[in-house]
Amino acid sequence: MATSTSSSWAQLRQQARSLESQTDSLFHTYSSFVSNPAAKPSEAELRTESQLQEILQRRETVVSSLSRLLDSETALTSSATKLQNLSLHRSTLTDHRREFTRLKGTISESRSRTHLLSSVRDDINAFRSASRLEDGRSEADYMLDERDRIDNSHNIADSVLSQAYAIQSDFMDQRQLLGSINRRIVHSASQIPGINTIIAKINTRKKRDSVILAGLIAACFLMALWFR
């Protein structure tokens, strides 16, 4: 049973490391869309985004499997190394989710900014054209353009808020992980036979040694006074 569990753990860890490496490669590709995003997401961008979402979900499943496998072991047989490995994979997954959210928001902001600049240039060109015409642009067209600019500003604000919520969720996950590690350590310590008895004996011996030392000091002091 122990051999089977160890083999399953090794296979899951190997799978987790492979998926982490694939995620890094996809991040390299996805970040290339930040500097010069198209007016609309290209097929390559959408495909890369979809692959990242899928691989992050697969990593979540693998980390959950590692956690269940570790929980199935007894407190005495589960090693601190496995607990550290699980914590590292979970922390890396959290960091990659945060990075994916950041990149996605940055691409969206860059695309909105590019669209806004293009819209402003179009407005300037339209204004110049209108100045050469007698009728010019109608007030309704102007109001529609203003509404588009306001919508773009709202989209940027929504993107920033979504990133803030994602970071808050990551902090909560980290706090839960630390709580789980603390409970496991306390539980492991409580399972060591005789630990409380040993601690009590140590405390008793320290008290006894203190009494003996105090008596010895008092005797020396009285002898010094007697022979003075």
Reported as a single tens digit per residue, the pLDDT across 82-103 is 889 999 999 999 999 999 999 9
Copy the structure tokens of residue 23: 């995620």
* Cβ atoms 116, 39 nearer than 8 A: no
- Reported for 106-110, long-range contacts at CB under 8 A and 24+ positions apart, including other chains, are 106/34, 107/33, 107/34, 107/37, 107/45, 108/155, 108/156, 108/159, 109/156, 109/159, 109/160, 110/34, 110/35, 110/37
Confidence of residue 56 (pLDDT cuts 50, 70, 90): very high
| Predicted local confidence at residue 220, as pLDDT | 81
Confidence of residue 228 (pLDDT cuts 50, 70, 90): low
| Predicted local confidence at residue 196, as pLDDT | 62
* Residues belonging to the chain: 228
Confidence of residue 156 (pLDDT cuts 50, 70, 90): low
* Cβ atoms 118, 92 nearer than 8 A: no
For range 70-75, the mean pLDDT: 73
Rounded Cα distance, 96 and 26, in Å = 11
71 compared with 2, residue with greater pLDDT: 71
For range 5-14, the mean pLDDT: 85
Q: Is residue 134 scored above 50 in pLDDT?
A: no
Q: Which of 107, 80, 202 is CA-nearest to residue 162?
A: 107
160 compared with 197, residue with greater pLDDT: 197
Maximum distance among all Cα pairs of the chain, rounded to whole angstroms: 125
What phi and psi, each to the nearest 5 degrees, are found at residue 193?
A: -65, 135
pLDDT tens digit sequence for 197-224: 766 777 787 778 777 888 878 778 777 7
For range 142-171, the mean pLDDT: 66
Q: How far apart are the first and last CA of the chain?
A: 77
For range 40-65, the mean pLDDT: 93
- Reported for 89-94, long-range contacts at CB under 8 A and 24+ positions apart, including other chains, are 89/13, 89/16, 89/20, 89/59, 89/62, 89/63, 90/63, 90/173, 90/177, 91/174, 91/177, 92/20, 93/56, 93/59, 93/60, 93/63, 94/170, 94/173, 94/174
Q: Is residue 51 scored above 70 in pLDDT?
A: yes
pLDDT tens digit sequence for 19-43: 999 999 999 999 888 877 777 888 9
1-136, CATH topology level: Methane Monooxygenase Hydroxylase; Chain G, domain 1 (1.20.58)
Rounded Cα distance, 7 and 16, in Å = 14
Rounded Cα distance, 19 and 204, in Å = 54
pTM for the predicted model, two decimal places: 0.50
| Predicted local confidence at residue 195, as pLDDT | 61
| Predicted local confidence at residue 13, as pLDDT | 93
